[in-house]
Amino acid sequence: MRLIIVGTGGMAKNQAEHFTRIEGVELVGAVDTDPARLAAFADQFNIEQRFASLDAAIAWGKFDAATNVTPDRAHHPTTLPLLAAGKHVFCEKPLAENYDKALEMTEAAERAGVVNMVNLTYRNVAPLQQAREMVLAGEIGAVKHVEASYLQSWLVSKAWGDWRSETTWLWRLSTGHGSNGVLGDIGIHILDFAAYGAATDIDHVFARLKTFDKAPGGRIGEYTLDANDSFTMSVDFTNGALGVVHASRWATGHLNELKLRIYGERGGLEVCHNPDGSSLRACLGADVEAAAWKTLDVPAVPTNYQRYVDAVNTGSAQDPDFRRAADLQKVLDLAMVAERERREVKV
């Protein structure tokens, strides 16, 4: 598979490292409007073809597929030309800034008949995949209640860098720089984590968003710090379960932790993922009466990157696709409506 990388920032390096380890994948081109960044990236990964514009790359055309690692607001205008050219596309999350644009991209991909996937990276967590299989197999019975959280601490810790001085973090706190806050940045991850793991979809949502004071006057240089820092949601699932979902960047002691608890009529499951690893615990059978939890062994699963390559090579569809990401974006958009209007909204 001949692959080009559109956008050569930090996440592009992560993707390139994954793709270069997959047999049969050749990185044949890179695209970026920043000449120095493009040159450094292409040199690092021995990429011969270098393009200052996507139009130039498409005119060259000697590639099968693309991975779109541009900033969030650039996903829409850069993905549509690739689809029009009949190229398979792997896009970073979120698919677009809002549901309307995400739906337009989805429908364009489906008309083109190409493989389309979104890099919801926590699908790579093997315990999440195992938990879903157990739910689908009926091992915990009908799901009644779901708890999900995504906790980060970079607003109270310098473990990832100093947000007060580094643009990598400052832009994520400013709506004027394209951020939808913690809701837009990691909300899509935890919503997918919850709904996918519980093998259901979200039907209704009520959300509260909170932006905390972080600097005098709410500004640092050119950045107005007005994006939301924390959110909470109560959700109804299509299978009848009730759910609570929340996320924050103020979670002291949690560098980057996702947790999912799924409670059914006959048992419970708990998935935890953090920088130290992932785990799946279960309370099933006779353990239910004793409230005893056991850690389960979980086999490894293919990554999103491997599954994308397999899909392109075989012409088969893979999840999470653009349609899935658009549906999640709709929930995120409606969460903002719920906050603004202080009411529950139907998805």
* Token digits of residue 212: 């905390």
pLDDT band at 214 (very low <50, low <70, confident <90, very high): very high
Which of 97, 121, 145 is where one domain is finished? 121
- Domain CATH for 336: 3.30.360.10
* Token digits of residue 110: 């489906």
- Percent with pLDDT over 70 in the chain: 100
- For residue range 124-137, list pLDDT tens digits in order: 999 999 999 999 99
The answer to whether position 17 is within a domain reads yes
Same domain, 147 and 95: no
Same domain, 179 and 223: yes
Same domain, 151 and 297: yes
Which residues touch 322 (CB under 8 Å, ≥6 apart)? 91, 95, 102, 105, 106, 109, 110, 116, 117, 118
Number of domains observed in the structure of the chain = 2
Which of 121, 137, 162 is where one domain is finished? 121
The answer to whether position 127 is within a domain reads yes
Same domain, 194 and 233: yes
Amino acid at 95: L
10 Å Cβ neighbour count for 116?
29
C-alpha torsion 287→288→294→297, nearest 10: 100
Same domain, 150 and 117: no
The answer to whether position 309 is within a domain reads no
pLDDT band at 10 (very low <50, low <70, confident <90, very high): confident
The answer to whether position 310 is within a domain reads no
Same domain, 110 and 130: no
Amino acid at 270: E
- CA 129, distance to chain mean position in Å, is 15
Same domain, 134 and 228: yes
The answer to whether position 307 is within a domain reads no
The answer to whether position 245 is within a domain reads yes
Which domain range does residue 78 map to? 2-121
Same domain, 196 and 292: yes
Same domain, 139 and 109: no
The answer to whether position 161 is within a domain reads yes
Same domain, 184 and 218: yes
User: How much is the pTM?
Assistant: 0.94
Which residues touch 183 (CB under 8 Å, ≥6 apart)? 207, 209, 228, 231, 247, 332, 335, 336
Same domain, 80 and 148: no
- For residue range 275-330, list pLDDT tens digits in order: 999 999 999 999 999 999 999 999 999 999 999 999 999 999 899 999 999 999 99
Distance CA 207, CA 328 (A): 14
Which of 121, 139, 155 is where one domain is finished? 121
Same domain, 93 and 134: no
3-state per-residue secondary structure call for the chain: CEEEEECCCHHHHHHHHHHHCCCCCEEEEEECCCHHHHHHHHHHCCCCEEECCHHHHHHHCCCCEEEECCCHHHHHHHHHHHHHCCCEEEEECCCCCCHHHHHHHHHHHHHHCCCEEEECHHHHCHHHHHHHHHHHCCCCCCEEEEEEEEEECCCCCCCCCCCCCCHHHHHHHCHHHCCCHHHHHHHHHHHHHHHHHCCCCEEEEEEEEECCCCCHHHEECCEECCCCCEEEEEEEECCCCEEEEEEECCCCCCCEEEEEEEEECCCEEEEEEECCEEEEEEECCCHHHHCCCEECCCCCCCCHHHHHHHHHHHCCCCCCCHHHHHHHHHHHHHHHHHHHHCCCEEC
Amino acid at 17: E
| Cβ proximity of 260 and 131 under 8 Å | yes
- Domain CATH for 32: 3.40.50.720
pLDDT of 73 higher than 90: no
Which residues touch 297 (CB under 8 Å, ≥6 apart)? none
pLDDT of 71 higher than 90: no
- Give the mean pLDDT of 75-103: 97
For residue 243, the model assigns a pLDDT of 98
The answer to whether position 23 is within a domain reads yes
